[in-house]
Structure 1
Amino acid sequence: MTYSIVGTGNVGKALALQFARSGILFGIANTRGPDSIAPLAEELGDKVVPMTLQEALKADVIILAVPFWAHREVAKAATTWQGKIVIDVTNAYGVPLSDLDNLPSSAIVAKALPGAHLVKAFNHLPAGVLKQEPATAAGRRVIFLSSDDEGATATVAALVEKLGYAPISLGKIAEGGQLVQARDKSWAPLIFQDLFKKEQ
């Protein structure tokens, strides 16, 4: 299984740090090219591979950590999305519902990536929290997942575990997934909820 992170803003960097901490090899890309990522790769070590956007989109699992509307530019950069698992970390806060056809924002992202299996995850915690150790004295930090594809959810749940978090599935995007999706200028109930799962 190959992984890549698209986006080198605060959230993309926080996730890159967790991959590096966990010893998982991954590619990372942005629209500015690999040279702009070299300092981050140097800081995080040899598990980080700076890539062009096109190279990063060849991974089996692609983490989309870009501003919401930037997903359209990313969508055009791939030759095919067929069979890819895309983890949607975007938040559409401030985007009028009419611009989303009154659909959950992840449904709009999924439409732009035909053939991809989309899983909403990692978007409910701010970058500053995502940078922190996933396991604490209180337990493992919870990451919520929602998807219309159970197989993709299982794959992402396994990755979440590898990174040291506790995955919790909310079910389908239009149902439980609404609990982690911003709508217009309101945050969903589970966004910013920094919860922990105690070990049995």
Structure 2
Amino acid sequence: MSYAIIGFGEIGQALAKAFARTGIEVSVATTRHPESFASAAAAIGPTIIPKTLAEAVKADIIFLAVRFESHPDVAKVLPTWQGKTIVDVTNVYGVPPEELGGLPSSKVVERAFSGARLVKGFNHLVAAVLDQDPAVHGGRRVVFLTSDDDGAATEIGALAEKLGFSPIKLGGLSEGGLLVHSRGNSWGRLIFKDLVKFD
């Protein structure tokens, strides 16, 4: 299984650190040439591999850590995303619901990435929290996952556990997913909740 993070801002780098902590190799890419962020990637660890966008999207599981407004540009890189799993880490606070056609934002992203299995996840933690080791106070930091594809949610849940997190599945994008979606100028009820699960 191969992994990529598209977007290398605060959230993208926080995700890269989670991969680096567990020694799992992950490609990182932006619309810029890899040389422009190679030193930042190297500072995180040797398993963080800078690539071009065209190279990075060859991965099986892709974390979409760009601004919501930029997702259509990423989606155009491939004619079909069949066989790939997209983890939507974007948030749309301040985007009027009518611009989304009344849909949860992940439904809009899912339409753009034709053929992909989409999981909403890792978007409710701010970068400064996501950046930290998820093993805290004798427990594990929670990440919420929501998807209309239960198999994809299970797959990303297993990856979240490998990264040290405790995944909690909230159901489909239009039901439990609304708890972690922003709508207009309001955040979902679970956005910014930094929860720890004790085994």
**Which residue of the partner structure matches residue 112 of structure 2?**
112
Please give the secondary structure, in 2, of the residue aligned with 1:77. Answer: coil
**Which residue of the partner structure matches residue 71 of structure 1?**
71
Identify unmatched segments of 5+ residues in structure 2: none
Cα deviation, residue 80, structure 1: 2.3
Cα deviation, residue 108, structure 1: 0.2
| Counterpart Cα distance in 1 of 2:100 and 2:33 | 30
| Counterpart Cα distance in 2 of 1:58 and 1:5 | 11
Cα deviation, residue 163, structure 1: 0.5
- Structure 1 residues 4, 137: CA separation in 2 closer, same or farther (over 3 Å shift)? same
Please give the secondary structure, in 1, of the residue aligned with 2:76. Answer: helix
Mapping of 1:82-161 within 5 angstroms? Answer: 82-161=82-161
**Which residue of the partner structure matches residue 162 of structure 1?**
162
Q: What amino acid maps onto 1:11 in structure 2?
A: I
| Counterpart Cα distance in 2 of 1:103 and 1:85 | 20
Cα deviation, residue 69, structure 1: 1.0
Cα deviation, residue 138, structure 1: 4.7
**Which residue of the partner structure matches residue 43 of structure 1?**
43
CA RMSD for the aligned pairs? 0.8
| In the alignment, structure 1 residue 179 sits paired with structure 2 residue 179 | yes
TM-score by length of 1: 0.98
| Counterpart Cα distance in 2 of 1:89 and 1:4 | 13
Identify unmatched segments of 5+ residues in structure 1: none
| Counterpart Cα distance in 1 of 2:95 and 2:157 | 28
Q: What amino acid maps onto 2:22 in structure 1?
A: S
Cα deviation, residue 37, structure 1: 1.8
Amino-acid identity (%): 55
| Counterpart Cα distance in 2 of 1:41 and 1:97 | 36
| Counterpart Cα distance in 2 of 1:11 and 1:41 | 13
Q: What amino acid maps onto 2:96 in structure 1?
A: P
Cα deviation, residue 36, structure 1: 1.5
Q: What amino acid maps onto 1:15 in structure 2?
A: L
**Which residue of the partner structure matches residue 52 of structure 2?**
52
Tell me the matched-pair count.
199
| Counterpart Cα distance in 1 of 2:104 and 2:41 | 34
Cα deviation, residue 79, structure 1: 3.6
| Counterpart Cα distance in 1 of 2:73 and 2:176 | 28
| Counterpart Cα distance in 2 of 1:41 and 1:83 | 27
